[in-house]
Amino acid sequence: MKSKDVHMELVDRYLSGQATSEEGEQLEQLMLENPQLRSDFLAYARIDAALPGAVGGDAELIEFNPNPVGISKKGNWLVWGPIAAAAVLLIGLFLGSGLLQNGSSDSSQVVARFGGLSDCRWVDAAKQIESGQRIKVGERLELSSGIAEVIFDTGARLELTGPTIIEIRSSNGGFLTMGEVHLVAETPESKGFTLETPISKFIDIGTAFTATVSPDGLSRLDVTEGEVDVIVDENVGPRRITAGQTMYVEPGERKIVTRLEAGDETPAFIFPTISPPSNSDYADVANGKASIRAIHRELEGSSLGGGPVSVLIDGEGQSKQDSPRQSAFFSSHWKGNYFLMDLGKPISISRINSYSWHQHNDIEEHRERARQRFTLYGFAGDEPPAVGNHGKTGWTRIARVNSDKLFHVNERLDRPAQQGCEISATSGDLGRFRYLLWHVKGSTFFGEFDVHGAP
Amino acid sequence: MTPSDRDKHDQFIRLYVENEESLRGFVRSLVPTLEDAREVMQETAAVLWRKFDELHSLEDFRRWAFGVARFEALAFRRDRARDRHVFSEDLIAMLESEAEEAGEQSNREEEALKNCLRKLPGKQRALVESAYDKGVRIDQMAEEIGRTPMSLYKALHRIRMSLADCIEQFLQKEEQPG
């Protein structure tokens, strides 16, 4: 922390209840004048608040009684850790309606059983789950932490990783509200296993996949074997995803899909399904309609060999694996770096692609600058809003991209050296925008941005 | 519960969980103890759910939730903790705005904190685990381990500062090229 030690000691005394009234006033005066101290005060409070959950796990034990006797402020909620609110409200609501576990009218049909259970904690503390216990259609499984296996009578095996909430919807399917499940469907009877999420439907074609729904509704599908049909929009046919591919589906009215793929690590930038860099997209320099610039912080300077930002719209990626001059990248590695593209006027955008390539010439594992990690925003007006605080300034968030998560990068060598990202909508366009803003994290060697669309 | 109730409920869960860590930190900054923060968080969650229908746009959830949390924390202090200095409206508004901005940071810090805890020397980790066990009072703990409360407070402060530095380094490293 950057604040003075003596100030942080005052912060500690205040938060641990030792500060006198005078010390409280002194701290207030210091914080009113010093943004750094406010920032450090908040960070210190966050650490203090997170420690009970981090060291033990049950410090957030809360129980909700929907009809408390009297106005006791204590002990009405009972839940653990990161899924606290979910459990709180589930218990509160479902106890009241008598529907804690059976939400379907077809609740008598037993279709699955619990398999292996590892360190499982359930939202309902009173719930006793044992391996072999049968599961009916309509049961809602609310796992706070640990790993639980669910084996369907069809042979489909689901592994839930807490915190996860899933409802068993049929003899061969479920609805994932939140969390992560891994499916293995190897038997003929399990073919067609359907996993729904709040914004999509994954239909197994005899395979294995992992589906994740984050708290804000972003769905992710990783296919590890075979194929999966994905239905994001009922009015549009399924999209088939095969082994090794992954896609994200953003929540919201427009069904926006993000795909990332590893390239062939040649100047041709060949990907399984994503097209190579284009010189005929709307934003290409040859078209003469778009411009792009870096804002907030400077690009890596020419003294270090970095290329100009215009390389992003020159119609091609890098010609070799470690080519700073053909790459646009930021000198700062911290957040707060942006590429702002002006398309000249609002256009209907159908697809946005980005390409990166970096493999150190001598060190095989050094390919850090290939990672694509950014949030993309759009704006249709004449003057772009300020950057930062995007939720309040008028920018529309289009998609979030983090290729390390998608490629499950745990070791440096897991990271593909050449990456392509494609953002599109399942039907129609991504939206009508004049400005596009990439909020970039890290110092990726971007080689090309392609924007496909028409006025 | 009707399907639409369930949808609403699920939507609320997702929004709340996404913002829970940053809300908890903000609440902690306004009330005297961790136990107080727990109680205020309970009340905040209950109020947010009760009034969820009144939220006009889901995009405003974070701002709305921070406003409710601030109100609940101040009400708590007014009713239960009169003996401590209460920050002025001006300062609380600054803290609210800055805590709200740090929302994404909070979620990343959570992962970093777990990593940093693992790196603590055994004795420090044992100390922090004991101190943050539910219901533990520092004065009682100090007596049990034969230390003065003041020395225990100071030791815990040093550990928290060390964790803060470690978290900062962890997050910076995450952003740096190798």
Residue finishing a domain among A15, A35, A55: A55
* pLDDT higher than 80, residue B8: no
Nearest CA in chain B to A404: B174
Query: For residue B172, which residues of chain A lie inside 8 Å, CB to CB?
Result: 333-334
Together in a domain, A35 and A180: no
Instruction: Give, to the nearest 10 degrees, the angle between helix A35-55 and helix B34-50.
Output: 90
Residue A101: count of CB within 10 angstroms of its CB: 18
Segment A198-214 mean pLDDT = 83
Together in a domain, B10 and B96: yes
In tens, the pLDDT along A322-344 reads 898 899 888 655 556 889 999 99
A304 contact B CB<8A = no
* pLDDT higher than 60, residue A243: yes
Together in a domain, B65 and B90: yes
Mutate to test the interface with A, among B5, B26, B33, B34 (most CBs of A within 10 A): B34
Contact B20 A85 (CB under 8 A): yes
Together in a domain, B89 and B122: no
Together in a domain, A144 and A274: no
Residue B110 has a pLDDT of 79
Specify the pTM.
Answer: 0.54
Mutate to test the interface with A, among B22, B26, B38 (most CBs of A within 10 A): B38
Structure token pair of residue B75: 């009400």
Give domain status of residue A201, yes or no. yes
Query: For residue A77, which residues of chain B lie inside 8 Å, CB to CB?
Result: 42, 45-46
Nearest CA in chain B to A86: B13
Give domain status of residue A104, yes or no. no
Residue A10 has a pLDDT of 93
Q: Which of residues 23-82 of A touch B (CB under 8 A)?
A: 23-25, 27-28, 31-32, 35, 38-52, 54-56, 58-62, 64, 73-74, 76-77, 82
Residue B158 has a pLDDT of 95
Residue B83 has a pLDDT of 61
Q: Is A177 in contact with A139 (CB distance < 8 Å)?
A: no
Residue A270 has a pLDDT of 93
Of A14, A54, A97, the CB nearest to B113: A54
Shortest Cα–Cα distance, B144 to chain A (Å): 19
Together in a domain, A223 and A288: no
Residue B174 has a pLDDT of 64
Residues A423 and B111: their CA atoms lie apart, in Å, by 28
Residue A414: count of CB within 10 angstroms of its CB: 12
Q: How large is the C-alpha radius of gyration of chain B?
A: 19
In tens, the pLDDT along A117-150 reads 988 887 776 778 899 999 999 888 988 778 999 9
Together in a domain, A19 and A164: no
Contact B94 A38 (CB under 8 A): yes
A330 contact B CB<8A = no
Mutate to test the interface with B, among A5, A25, A55, A78 (most CBs of B within 10 A): A55
Give the containing element (helix H, strand E) for A180: strand A173-184
Residue A204 has a pLDDT of 82
Residues A393 and A27: their CA atoms lie apart, in Å, by 32
Give the containing element (helix H, strand E) for A378: strand A373-379
Give the containing element (helix H, strand E) for A113: strand A110-122
* pLDDT higher than 60, residue A366: yes
Return the amino acid letter for A373. Answer: R
In tens, the pLDDT along A53-62 reads 887 643 333 3
Number of domains in chain B: 2
Together in a domain, B123 and B88: no
Contact A441 B39 (CB under 8 A): no
Q: Is A226 in contact with A207 (CB distance < 8 Å)?
A: yes
Together in a domain, A358 and A439: yes
Would you list the DSSP string of B111-155?
HHHHHHHHHS-HHHHHHHHHHTSTT--HHHHHHHHT--HHHHHHH
Give the containing element (helix H, strand E) for B20: helix B3-30
In tens, the pLDDT along B12-52 reads 877 887 788 889 899 999 888 888 888 898 888 888 888 88
Nearest to A303 by CA among A273, A325, A322: A325
Residue A264 has a pLDDT of 92
Together in a domain, A269 and A387: yes
B35 contact A CB<8A = no
Residues A124 and A112: their CA atoms lie apart, in Å, by 20
Query: For residue B14, which residues of chain A lie inside 8 Å, CB to CB?
Result: 177-178, 198, 214-217
Structure token pair of residue A386: 């300020």
Together in a domain, B29 and B41: yes
The domain containing residue B111 runs over which residues? 104-175
- Close Cβ partners of B93 (under 8 Å, ≥ 6 residues apart): none
Together in a domain, A273 and A230: no
Together in a domain, B53 and B113: no
Together in a domain, B89 and B119: no
* pLDDT higher than 80, residue A297: no
Q: Which of residues 88-147 of B touch A (CB under 8 A)?
A: 88, 90-91, 94-95, 98-99, 101-102, 106, 109-110, 113-114, 117, 128-129, 132-134, 138
Contact B25 A18 (CB under 8 A): no
Together in a domain, B51 and B115: no
Residue A98: count of CB within 10 angstroms of its CB: 9
Segment A26-41 mean pLDDT = 92
* pLDDT higher than 80, residue A298: no
CATH number, domain containing residue B63: 1.10.1740
Query: For residue B113, which residues of chain A lie inside 8 Å, CB to CB?
Result: 47, 50-51, 54
Q: What is the ipTM of this complex?
A: 0.89
Q: What average pLDDT is seen over chain B?
A: 83
Nearest to A212 by CA among A177, A239, A173: A177
Nearest CA in chain B to A36: B98
Q: Is A440 in contact with A296 (CB distance < 8 Å)?
A: no
Q: Which of residues 184-213 of A touch B (CB under 8 A)?
A: 198
* pLDDT higher than 50, residue B2: yes
Would you list the DSSP string of A320-362?
SSS-GGG-B-BS--SS-EEEEEEEEEEEEEEEEEEEEE---SS
Q: What residue has token string 């796990």?
A: A57
Residues A371 and A322: their CA atoms lie apart, in Å, by 14
Query: For residue A176, which residues of chain B lie inside 8 Å, CB to CB?
Result: none
Find the range with the poorest average confidence among A4-18, A95-109, A314-328, B49-63: A95-109
Pairing of strands A219-225, A246-250: antiparallel
Give domain status of residue A69, yes or no. no
Q: What angle do CA A450, A452, A454 make, to 5 degrees?
A: 145
Residues A238 and A231: their CA atoms lie apart, in Å, by 5
Find the range with the poorest average confidence among A6-15, A165-174, B44-53, B103-112: B103-112
Question: Would you give the DSSP letter of residue B39?
Answer: H
Query: For residue B95, which residues of chain A lie inside 8 Å, CB to CB?
Result: 31, 38, 41-42
More confident residue, B63 or A283: A283
Mutate to test the interface with B, among A42, A332, A397, A404 (most CBs of B within 10 A): A42
CATH number, domain containing residue A123: 2.60.120.1440
Query: For residue B129, which residues of chain A lie inside 8 Å, CB to CB?
Result: 55-56
Residues B154 and B160: their CA atoms lie apart, in Å, by 10
Residue B1 has a pLDDT of 53
Residue A445 has a pLDDT of 92
Query: For residue B132, which residues of chain A lie inside 8 Å, CB to CB?
Result: 51-52, 55-56, 59
Contact A42 B38 (CB under 8 A): no
Residue count of chain A: 455
A443 contact B CB<8A = yes
Residue A372: count of CB within 10 angstroms of its CB: 23
Return the amino acid letter for A415. Answer: R
Together in a domain, B89 and B111: no
A442 contact B CB<8A = yes
The domain containing residue A207 runs over which residues? 110-249
Residue finishing a domain among B101, B116, B134: B101
Residues B125 and B114: their CA atoms lie apart, in Å, by 11
A163: helix, coil or strand?
strand
Structure token pair of residue A401: 């991209």
Number of domains in chain A: 3
The top-scoring range by mean pLDDT among A32-41, A67-76, A421-430 is A32-41
More confident residue, A162 or A5: A5
A176 contact B CB<8A = no
Q: Is A79 in contact with B61 (CB distance < 8 Å)?
A: no
CATH number, domain containing residue A442: 2.60.120.260
- Close Cβ partners of A398 (under 8 Å, ≥ 6 residues apart): A250, A256, A352, A376, A377, A378, A423, A430, A431, A436
Together in a domain, B20 and B48: yes
Structure token pair of residue A249: 């589906």
Q: Is A115 in contact with A131 (CB distance < 8 Å)?
A: yes
Contact B90 A64 (CB under 8 A): no
State the SS3 of A20-83. Answer: CHHHHHHHHHHHHHCHHHHHHHHHHHHHHHHHHHHHCCCCCECCCCCCCCCCCCCCCCCECHHH
B68: helix, coil or strand?
helix
